[in-house]
Amino acid sequence: MTRPLRIEYEGAWYHVMNRGANRQTVFTTERDRLAFLALLGEISEIFGVEVHVFCLMGNHYHLILHTPRGNLGRAMRHLNSVYTQRHNRAAGRDGPLFRGRYKAILLDADAWLMQVSRYVHRNPLEARLVARLGRYRWSSYRAYVGETPGPDWLCTETILDLFGKHQRASRYRQYVAAADDAKMKDFYGTARIVPVLGDAAFRERAATHARRASHDKEVPGARRLTERPGVERINEVTANAFGVAPAALGTARRGRGAENAPRLVAMALCRNPGGFTLNEIADVFGVSHYSSVSVAASRLKGRLAKDPVLQDLVDGIIGKLPHGNK
């Protein structure tokens, strides 16, 4: 299995997140949360990592980090491994605590820093843990809006400066109170999040950093730097092309000779150019086993070879989808 793509360079910004293995709780007590926050202070001091936003949920966490030294990996290894050791020792357990390596999304801070900070800070509200964000103790939101002093290692000025010189806390409060925009929801709503949030030029610069770091033009996972279509977009375009409702793609037809061509096409396009795994596609379309997705793709391939009209239709669908890896 290809390891997640990591792009590190001096001055990079990231949205970092990790979840408990099997969705287990990773912050059980107040002591756990305080220990994790203390470790954020450690990575700031030891590795020079700037912590700009944090939000600790029950079974996962979100961070916005800036790395002047380009050393995200070293800092995150310290954070996750030391926290796991201390948590396991206190709980009298052993084994992995997190589901694997952390997920890091490289950010074009000039374009997306405000939006991602809002997305992270709204997590407790979206999860319905609190009715008002000011009541949630385990995020940096209260420090941003002036309800409590933040820890010494928390950097709030960069984001608050984006709201002007006066009444920044009040303006930030109003900004976060508004729901996340559609682009944010689309980006984070996909099953496989692209590891770079930025426009085509920023993604190309990120790919250049990745190639330089590896000294290899074919970086594992680099194809995912480019924008790929989500399931909803694939289903929408496919349904429009066939003149059916998107809901029709979710149902397999039964009976001898019955075949739902729009559904087959959508499943195939989720694989390529969508880039989703067979298991992910099976989950989305309600297929009992991932092998059925592979069978459906082979069936469609056979049909396309015999039906040039259908092939033209599929080519037209692909042309309307983002697929920047060409």
Q: Would you list the DSSP string of 236-254?
A: HHHHHHHTS-GGGGG----
The label of the residue with tokens 């730097």 reads 225
* C-alpha span between 16 and 8 (Å, rounded): 13
pLDDT digits 0-9 by tens, 202-224:
988 888 887 776 554 444 454 45
Beta bridge partners of 65: 14, 51
pLDDT at residue 164 greater than cutoff 50:
yes
Q: List all residues 6 or more positions away from 188 whose beta carbon is below 8 Å from its beta carbon.
A: 119
pLDDT of residue 272: 75
User: Which pLDDT value is given to residue 300?
Assistant: 81
What's the N-to-C CA distance of the chain in angstroms?
Answer: 23
**Contact present, 65 and 14 (Cβ < 8 Å):** yes
3-state helix, strand, coil in the chain (%, to 5): 55, 10, 35
In this structure, the number of other CB atoms found within 10 A of the CB of residue 275 comes to 19
| pLDDT tens-digit map of 215-261 | 544 444 544 555 567 788 888 888 898 888 888 877 666 554 457 88
Average pLDDT, the chain: 85
pLDDT above 80: residue 276:
no
Q: What percent of the chain lies above the pLDDT cut of 90?
A: 48
Q: Which pTM was predicted? A: 0.67
- Sign of the dihedral through C-alpha 102, 155, 37, 191: negative
* Per CATH, domain 231-319 is 3.40.50.620: no
Which pLDDT value is given to residue 1?
A: 37
Predicted pLDDT of residue 126: 92
CB 184 within 8 A of CB 119: yes
Q: What is the mean pLDDT of residues 154-173?
A: 94
Classified by CATH at the fold level, domain 12-225 comes out as Alpha-Beta Plaits (3.30.70)
Strands of 50-56's sheet, edge to edge?
A: 50-56, 60-67, 12-19, 103-107, 196-197
Res. 267: pLDDT tops 50: yes
Predicted confidence band of residue 53 (pLDDT cuts 50, 70, 90): very high
pLDDT in tens, 130-149: 999 999 999 999 999 999 99
Mean pLDDT of 51-76: 96
**Residue 119 and residue 188 in contact, taking contact as beta carbons nearer than 8 Å:** yes
Longest Cα separation, the chain: 70
- Residues 160 and 143: their CA atoms lie apart, in Å, by 11
What is the identity of the amino acid at 194?
V
Q: Who's near 156: CB < 8 A, 6+ residues apart?
A: 52, 140, 143, 144, 150
Q: Is 50 helix (H, G, I), strand (E, B) or coil?
A: strand
**pLDDT category of residue 195 using cuts at 50, 70 and 90:** confident
Residue ranges of domains in the chain: 12-225, 231-319
Is 159:52 a contact under the CB 8 Å cutoff? yes
Give the pLDDT of residue 253.
Answer: 62
Q: 3-class SS at 103?
A: strand
